Amino acid sequence: MSRHRYLCHVRFSDVDVYGHVNNVKYFENFQEARLAFILALAGDDPGTGLRQVVARIDVDYKRPILFRPEPYLIETWVTHVGTSSYALDARIVDEQAASTVYSTAQVRLVAFDPGTQRSRPLSSEERSRLEQALADAVPA
Amino acid sequence: MSRHRYLCHVRFSDVDVYGHVNNVKYFENFQEARLAFILALAGDDPGTGLRQVVARIDVDYKRPILFRPEPYLIETWVTHVGTSSYALDARIVDEQAASTVYSTAQVRLVAFDPGTQRSRPLSSEERSRLEQALADAVPA
Amino acid sequence: MSRHRYLCHVRFSDVDVYGHVNNVKYFENFQEARLAFILALAGDDPGTGLRQVVARIDVDYKRPILFRPEPYLIETWVTHVGTSSYALDARIVDEQAASTVYSTAQVRLVAFDPGTQRSRPLSSEERSRLEQALADAVPA
Amino acid sequence: MSRHRYLCHVRFSDVDVYGHVNNVKYFENFQEARLAFILALAGDDPGTGLRQVVARIDVDYKRPILFRPEPYLIETWVTHVGTSSYALDARIVDEQAASTVYSTAQVRLVAFDPGTQRSRPLSSEERSRLEQALADAVPA
User: Which conformational region is residue A99 in: left (phi greater than 0), alpha (psi within -120 to 50 degrees), or beta?
Assistant: alpha
C-alpha D67/C-alpha D11 separation (Å) is 7
Identify the helix (H) or strand (E) that includes residue A41: helix A23-42
Which of B13, B19, B24 is the closest to C22 by Cβ? B13
Strand pairing class (A72-81; A4-8) = antiparallel
The string of pLDDT tens digits covering residues A36-56 is: 999 888 876 655 455 789 999
The string of pLDDT tens digits covering residues D67-115 is: 999 999 999 999 999 999 999 999 999 988 778 999 999 999 999 887 8
| Higher pLDDT among residues C117 and C132, named by residue | C132
Assess A53–B contact: CB distance below 8 Å, yes or no: yes
Rounded mean pLDDT, D53-78: 95
Using CA coordinates, name the residue in chain D closest to C110: D61
Are A56 and B57 within 8 A, CB to CB? no
Rounded mean pLDDT, D118-134: 92
Using CA coordinates, name the residue in chain D closest to A17: D17
Distance from CA of A21 to the nearest CA of C (A): 14
Please check whether residue D103 lies inside any domain of the structure: yes
Residues 6 or more apart whose Cβ sits within 8 Å of residue B48: B41, B42, B123, B125, B126, B129
pLDDT band at D138 (very low <50, low <70, confident <90, very high): low
User: Largest Cα–Cα distance of chain C, in whole Å?
Assistant: 48
Assess D12–A contact: CB distance below 8 Å, yes or no: yes
Find chain C residues with C-beta within 8 A of D57's C-beta.
23, 58-59
Residues 6 or more apart whose Cβ sits within 8 Å of residue A14: A21, A22, A25, A28, A29, A67
Please check whether residue D140 lies inside any domain of the structure: no
Find chain C residues with C-beta within 8 A of B16's C-beta.
12-13, 15-17
Assess D19–A contact: CB distance below 8 Å, yes or no: yes
Give me the CATH number covering residue C88.
3.10.129.10
Rounded mean pLDDT, A27-33: 96
Assess A13–C contact: CB distance below 8 Å, yes or no: yes
pLDDT above 70: percentage of residues in chain B:
92
pLDDT, position C62: 95
pLDDT band at D46 (very low <50, low <70, confident <90, very high): low
User: Three-state SS string across C13-67, please?
Assistant: HHECCCCCECHHHHHHHHHHHHHHHHHHHHCCCCCCCCCEEEEEEEEEECCCCCC
Distance from CA of C32 to the nearest CA of A (A): 6
Identify the helix (H) or strand (E) that includes residue B87: strand B85-93
Which of D13, D17, D22 is the closest to A19 by Cβ? D17
**CB B123 within 8 Å of CB B112:** no
Which of B24, B31, B60 is the closest to A56 by Cβ? B60
C-alpha A29/C-alpha B102 separation (Å) is 23
Are B13 and D32 within 8 A, CB to CB? yes
pLDDT above 90: percentage of residues in chain D:
71
C-alpha B10/C-alpha B15 separation (Å) is 9
pLDDT, position B140: 55
DSSP line for C64-111: -----SSPEEEEEEEEEE-SSEEEEEEEEE-SS-TT-EEEEEEEEEEE
Is the pLDDT at C11 greater than 70? The verdict is yes
pLDDT, position B99: 86
Assess B39–A contact: CB distance below 8 Å, yes or no: no
Domain count, chain A: 1
The string of pLDDT tens digits covering residues B37-82 is: 998 888 766 555 557 899 999 999 999 999 998 999 999 999 999 9
Give the lowest-confidence range in B25-29, C136-140, D22-26: C136-140
pLDDT, position D44: 65
Range of the domain at B11: 4-136
C-alpha C12/C-alpha A50 separation (Å) is 16
Assess A35–C contact: CB distance below 8 Å, yes or no: yes
Using CA coordinates, name the residue in chain B closest to A60: B56
Distance from CA of D110 to the nearest CA of C (A): 11
> Which residues is C85 bridged to in the sheet?
C110
pLDDT band at D41 (very low <50, low <70, confident <90, very high): confident
* Spatial CA neighbour of D84 closest among D33, D122, D57: D122
DSSP state of B15: B
Is the pLDDT at A104 greater than 90? The verdict is yes
> Which one of C29, C34, C57, C113 would you mutate to disrupt binding with D, by most D Cβ within 10 Å of its Cβ?
C57
DSSP state of D18: T
pLDDT, position B49: 54
Angle (nearest 5°) at CA C14 between C9 and C16: 145
Give the lowest-confidence range in A10-24, A91-105, B7-21, C40-54: C40-54
ipTM rounded to 2 decimals: 0.89
